Structures are given as structure tokens and as C-alpha cells.
């Protein structure tokens, strides 16, 4: 079975076929870096991280491009607002580029924690001004754009299917227009390609139309074309960007190149917090840093970044996801179960005896892999993929109960955890040692001394002392686990 993806353009699931055999170009709308990344970013970028990971798993050579918007994104889409970066820079008293740099780093830091692979290319809008001017020039030359008072606008009436992605037509939009229309525009739906800069505007560049800066929609068209070609396989982004952003991209790009811009449009759904849309004006805006540290009044504790990732994978990328403390808590428990199982499995592999492989297990694992792939092939159903991980957990635990399980059999499970849980889902780590503090060796020795003391106490039926030792360690966050032949410990 081949990979099927829901294409927003056709509103259907379609079998994915790349333009060039074996290679895929993916462009995803990146963040506007004027604040720390929040839960909404997490859902979007984890979703597209899964897409690229799974395509690589299938053997495609993927080029993943995700822009950084550091100029031109205005505070409203009527093209009359202020530049978001400039506004935030003024507030934080920083140079706009310093602000953008600061939040770009913050963004990557958070995405690294969520175990999202870095894009192959992270182009900045401000680094592609020349190319953007080039596209505006072409559009003017071809009659799709007009200059007015130092700004250049795209004339939507010249582009036949404007709004085809979001299913809108121009007349409806004019009727529903809620924002003031610039007097420079011929048509209220026209959008800015290039904006004239006022003299005090910090970010501005020389252009054939005077000093100014590019319109927000332009950067994605220009940078995707530059790095992936005039027609790209996949373009992803949040549902809220479908209109106007993506429809504008289509109009600009297709008017410029006379070729289909994007073959598969993918849109992830939005997040809510405690059942309501997340907004800065409501009191439920949670950044990733707050979630990871538990410093938000809606959260009762801190959450492991990978537990956040797992919660995202628990539902479909095209479904809305409600973040709540309870949901995060449940994900944290489930994530812990998978992690502990993988750790136990690997520890056991070190001491398990070698021997034959259980053929029945081989067959079970084969079926699990098939179920996993069938789910992922069906428009990236990570919920099914995750359910396979828990089936694998149950199988692993039952095999760990049996002391006769061979190293070879355990290794088969470990491979599946690595490939499906690690490579594709990104919730199983290659190595958990790094999590531990530097003095783990010392801690291990000290705890083992106490475990020995407790063992002696238990042998002597001095349970009061045995329990005291266990409780003291528990208070320090160290949990003892009594196994038939030995006692092990782990951090809570």
C-alpha cells in the first residue's frame, strides 16, 4: 500500500507520487519570530516532522525547507497593520534583527526538545529581498500587479481562480470585509507584494518603487521556488494560513511561472486550550517553555517535551487538539510507560542469554509493522501508529517476565522500537544515558550500597529498617523495583 495524503486543494485523499522519482521537496510555512513558540507551533511542526520522517522511512530523499519570517508579516491582513517584528522590537527595545535572531534561536531550541529534525534549509525572508523584488518585477511586467503610491499590489481580478484553495470567491470577501480598505487598492481583495516604508521604519530596502519592504505572502513563493523549484511536491502549514496566505502564494507563483505551484497542499488543524481557542487576549496562551517547565497557571506540573509530542501524535494532524492539564498528564504517563519498557528491554539485552529466535514473535512483529505502516500510509494516522507502540510495549513486558527470552528475540523488539518509535514517531530515544546527571556512576554506587543493606534487612526479617530505607530513597525521588532475582532502581 502506498502513502495516501489528504490534499486540501482537491479535498480528497490522494496517493502520493513525487514529481521526481525517489525525491520529495517539502515546504512548510515557518514561524514569524517575534515571540516564543507555543503549543500551536508544536502541533504544526511535529505534524510536518512526522511527514518528513515517514517519507524518509519509506526511502524518499527528502528536502525539507521551512522559512523563518523576520520581516513583512503585518499585524493584520488588510495590509494596513504594522510589521509584527518591528512592533515587538519597539516594545522590547531591540533592533528588529536582534529580536528575530533571539526568537529564532528560542524556536530551534524548543523544536529540538520536541525532537523535530531541523529543516534542511531555514531561509530567512530578509535574506531574500532581491529575489522578492525580482518576482514583483515579473508580476508587474506580466500585468498581474500595479504600483500605487510606492507600494505594489497584486490584482486578484487578473488571476482566474483566486481563492481556489480555500473555496472563496472575491465577491463574498468584499461583502464580508471587516477591515478598512487601503485607498491605493483597486480591489479590496488585492494584496500587497511590496509596501512603501515610512521614513522612520527601521527595516527597509531600496527597490524600483522606492524604499520599502516585501509583503508577507511573497517570501514563501520566492523561497520555495528558489530551493525546491517552480512546482513543488508538498506545501504544508496551519489551517489558518489557508486563506489568505496560501491562496496568495498560489496566485503569485502561478502568475509568475505559468506552472502549477504545489501538487499536494497539507494543512494541520489548530489547538485549543481547555476547550477554547488559544489566544493572547484569553488567559490560556501557553508557550512551549512554560509547558516544559510547568510555569503556567493552567498547568499543575512540568511536562516532558516528548510527552507533549506524544499527545500530539495521539490524535490526527487534521483534527483539532485540545491541550489540557489532564490530557498532558495522561500523555506523560503513557510516554513514561514506553520509555521505561525500552530502557528495561535494553538493560535485559545486556545480560540475556543467546539462543534461537522465537518464530511466533517474528510473526507478531511482522503484523505490528504492517499495522503501523497501514496506519501511516492512510494520511499519517499517528494514532494507529502509537497504538502499535503500546502493543509492542505489552509484548516486550511479557517477554521480559520470561527469563528464557533470548537476546536475539529481544533484539528484534528493540529494532522495531528504534525504527517505528524512534525514526518515525520520534518518541523513543537512541540513548537514554544522556538524560542522567554526570554523577550517575556515583549515584548508582551509593544506591546499590543501600539496596544491599535493605536486602540484608529483609533477609533478617527486619522489615522496619527495609521500609525505612525504601521510603528515604523514595523521598529523594528514587524508586526501588523488586524483581524475582534482584532489586533495581530508577528516578521517579
Q: Could you give the string, one character per residue 83-122, with x where binding to RNA holds by CB under 7 A and - elsewhere? A: -x--------------------------------------
Q: Which is nearer to RNA, 138 or 397 (CB)?
A: 397
Among positions 301, 463, 472, 476, the unique one binding RNA when judged by CB under 7 A: 463
Q: Do the Cβ atoms of 85 and 32 come closer than 8 Å?
A: yes
Q: Is 460 in the site for RNA (CB under 7 A)?
A: no
Are 283 and 296 in contact by the 8 Å Cβ rule? The answer is no
Measured from the CB atom, is 19 or 270 closer to RNA? 270
The CB-of-93 to RNA minimum distance in angstroms stands at 19
Q: For residues 161 and 333, which CB has a smaller minimum distance to RNA in the complex?
A: 333
Burial 453-477 (b: 16+ CB within 10 A, else e): ebeebbeeeeeeebeebbeebeeee
**CA 39, 44, 110, 87 torsion: positive or negative?**
negative
C-alpha torsion sign, points 258, 259, 260, 262: negative
Q: How far is the CB of 396 from RNA (least distance, A)?
A: 8
For residues 213-232, which are near RNA according to CB under 7 A? none
Q: Determine the Cα angle at 366 with ends 362 and 367, to 5°.
A: 120
Window 339 to 398, contacts with RNA (CB under 7 A): 340, 375, 378, 381, 383-384, 386-387, 390-391, 393-394, 397-398
Q: Smallest gap, in angstroms, from Cβ of residue 463 to RNA?
A: 4
Nearer CB in complex with RNA: 365/386: 386
Nearest to 327 by CA among 285, 388, 275, 372: 275
| 184 counts as binding RNA under rule CB under 7 A | no
Q: How far is the CB of 258 from RNA (least distance, A)?
A: 27
The residue range among 194-202, 226-234, 312-320, 414-422 that interacts with RNA, by the rule CB under 7 A, is: 312-320
CA pair distance 420, 311, nearest whole angstrom: 17
How many residues lie near RNA (CB under 7 A)? 89
Q: Does 321 bind RNA (CB under 7 A)?
A: yes
Cα gap 446→442, rounded to integer Å: 6
Q: Minimum distance from CB of 210 to RNA (Å)?
A: 25
407-446 residues in contact with RNA (CB under 7 A) are none
What does the radius of gyration of the chain's CA atoms come to, in whole angstroms?
A: 27
Beta strands in 203-310, from DSSP E residues, in sequence order: 212-214, 232-238, 262-268, 271-273, 276-277
Least Cβ distance, residue 277 to RNA (angstroms): 3
CB contact at 8 A, 156 and 191 = yes
CA distance 280 to 401: 50
Interface residue with RNA, options 4, 14, 75, 374 (CB under 7 A): 75
* Binding-site member from 2, 22, 178, 359 for RNA (CB under 7 A): 178
Closest contact distance (angstroms) between CB of 273 and RNA is: 9
Of 236-265, binders to RNA (CB under 7 A) are 237-244
Q: Which is nearer to RNA, 292 or 329 (CB)?
A: 329
Position among 143, 208, 279, 441 found at the interface with RNA (CB under 7 A): 279
Q: Of 268, 287, 405, 409, which one interacts with RNA (CB under 7 A)?
A: 268
Q: Which is nearer to RNA, 295 or 460 (CB)?
A: 460
CA distance linking residue 179 with residue 164, whole number of Å:
22
CB distance 174 to 161 below 8 Å: no
Note whether 312 binds RNA by CB under 7 A. Answer: no
Residues in 112-171 at the binding interface with RNA, rule: CB under 7 A: 166-168
Write each residue from 33 to 62 as x if it is in contact with RNA (CB under 7 A), else as -, in one continuous string.
Answer: -xx--x-xx-xx------------------
User: DSSP for 40-54?
Assistant: HHHHHHHHHHHHHHH
Q: Which of residues 466-485 bind RNA (CB under 7 A)?
A: 466-467, 470, 479-484
Counting every residue written for the chain, the total comes to: 492
**Smallest Cα–Cα separation from 396: which of 313, 464, 339?**
339
3-class secondary-structure state, position 96:
helix
Amino acid at each position: 500500500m502506498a502513502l495516501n495524503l489528504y490534499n486540501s486543494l482537491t479535498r480528497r485523499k490522494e496517493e502520493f507520487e513525487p514529481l521526481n522519482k525517489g525525491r520529495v521537496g517539502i515546504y512548510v510555512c515557518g514561524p514569524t519570530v517575534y515571540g516564543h513558540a507555543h503549543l500551536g507551533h508544536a502541533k504544526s511542526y511535529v505534524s510536518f516532522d512526522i511527514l518528513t520522517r515517514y517519507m524518509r522511512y519509506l526511502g524518499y530523499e527528502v528536502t525539507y525547507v521551512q522559512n523563518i519570517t523576520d520581516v513583512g508579516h503585518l499585524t493584520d491582513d488588510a495590509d494596513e497593520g504594522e510589521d509584527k517584528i518591528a512592533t515587538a522590537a519597539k516594545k522590547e527595545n531591540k533592533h528588529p534583527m536582534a529580536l528575530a535572531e533571539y526568537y529564532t534561536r528560542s524556536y530551534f531550541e524548543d523544536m529540538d526538545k520536541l525532537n523535530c529534525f531541523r529543516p534542511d534549509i531555514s531561509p530567512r525572508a530578509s535574506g531574500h529581498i532581491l529575489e522578492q523584488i525580482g518576482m514583483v518585477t515579473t508580476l508587474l511586467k506580466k500585468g498581474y500587479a500595479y504600483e500605487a503610491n510606492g507600494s505594489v499590489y497584486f490584482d486578484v481580478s487578473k488571476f482566474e481562480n483566486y481563492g481556489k484553495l480555500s473555496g472563496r470567491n472575491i465577491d463574498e470577501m468584499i461583502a464580508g470585509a471587516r477591515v478598512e480598505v487601503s485607498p491605493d487598492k483597486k480591489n479590496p481583495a488585492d494584496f500587497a507584494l511590496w509596501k512603501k516604508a515610512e521614513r522612520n521604519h527601521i527595516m527597509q530596502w531600496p527597490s524600483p518603487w522606492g524604499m520599502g519592504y516585501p509583503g508577507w505572502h511573497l517570501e514563501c513563493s520566492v523561497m520555495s521556488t528558489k530551493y525546491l523549484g517552480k512546482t513543488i511536491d508538498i506545501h504544508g502549514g496551519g489551517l489558518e494560513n489557508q486563506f489568505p496566505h496560501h491562496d496568495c502564494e498560489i496566485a503569485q507563483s502561478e502568475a509568475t511561472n505559468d506552472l502549477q505551484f504545489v501538487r499536494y497542499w497539507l494543512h494541520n488543524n489548530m489547538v485549543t486550550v481547555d476547550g477554547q481557542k488559544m489566544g493572547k487576549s484569553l488567559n490560556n496562551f501557553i508557550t512551549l517553555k512554560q509547558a516544559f517547565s510547568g510555569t503556567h497557571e493552567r498547568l499543575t506540573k512540568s511536562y516532558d517535551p516528548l510527552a507533549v509530542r506524544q499527545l500530539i501524535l495521539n490524535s490526527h494532524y487534521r483534527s483539532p487538539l485540545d491541550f489540557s492539564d489532564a490530557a498532558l498528564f495522561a500523555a506523560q504517563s503513557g510516554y513514561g510507560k514506553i520509555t521505561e519498557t525500552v530502557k528495561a528491554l535494553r538493560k535485559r539485552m545486556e545480560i540475556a542469554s543467546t539462543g534461537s529466535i522465537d518464530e511466533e514473535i517474528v510473526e507478531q512483529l511482522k503484523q505490528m509493522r504492517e499495522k503501523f505502516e497501514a496506519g501511516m500510509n492512510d494520511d499519517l494516522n499517528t494514532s494507529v501508529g502509537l497504538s502499535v507502540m503500546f502493543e509492542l510495549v505489552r509484548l516486550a513486558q511479557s517477554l521480559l517476565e520470561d527469563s528464557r527470552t533470548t537476546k536475539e528475540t529481544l533484539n528484534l523488539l528493540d529494532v522495531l522500537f528504534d525504527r517505528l518509535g524512534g525514526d518515525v514517531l520520534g518518541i523513543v530515544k537512541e540513548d537514554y544515558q544522556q538524560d542522567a546527571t554526570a554523577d550517575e556512576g556515583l549515584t548508582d554506587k551509593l544506591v546499590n550500597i543501600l539496596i544491599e543493606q535493605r536486602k540484608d534487612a529483609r533477609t533478617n526479617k527486619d522489615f522496619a529498617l527495609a521500609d525505612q530505607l525504601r521510603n528515604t530513597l523514595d523521598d529523594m525521588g528514587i524508586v526501588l523495583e523488586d524483581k524475582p532475582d534482584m532489586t533495581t532502581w530508577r528516578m521517579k
